[in-house]
Amino acid sequence: MISGVAIMLLGETLATGSRLLALWLATFVAVNHVYFVLAEEPGLVARFGDAYRAYRAAVPRWVPRATPWRGETQRS
């Protein structure tokens, strides 16, 4: 969902040529990235441990995967 909002902001920025929207896009992405890395991910590691670490290694943070990740069955 966050990627979708960022893409919409990028489209609006390109369509209007607004530097203010470009600044808002950069701020939005930076704030969300910092929040994910510093606040959300440590909590997920504490809650789910190695299962979340495997998921995090296999699934990109910002760009969706072309194919679904199926967890342990993905390795076979």
Instruction: Work out the average pLDDT over 43-51.
Output: 95
Distance of CA 25 to the CA centre of its chain: 14
> Amino acid identity of 62?
W
| Look-up of token digits 């990235």 | 33
The pLDDT of residue 37 is above 90: yes
Q: Is 67 helix (H, G, I), strand (E, B) or coil?
A: coil
Determine if the pTM surpasses 0.85. no
pLDDT-based confidence at residue 75 (cuts at 50, 70, 90): low
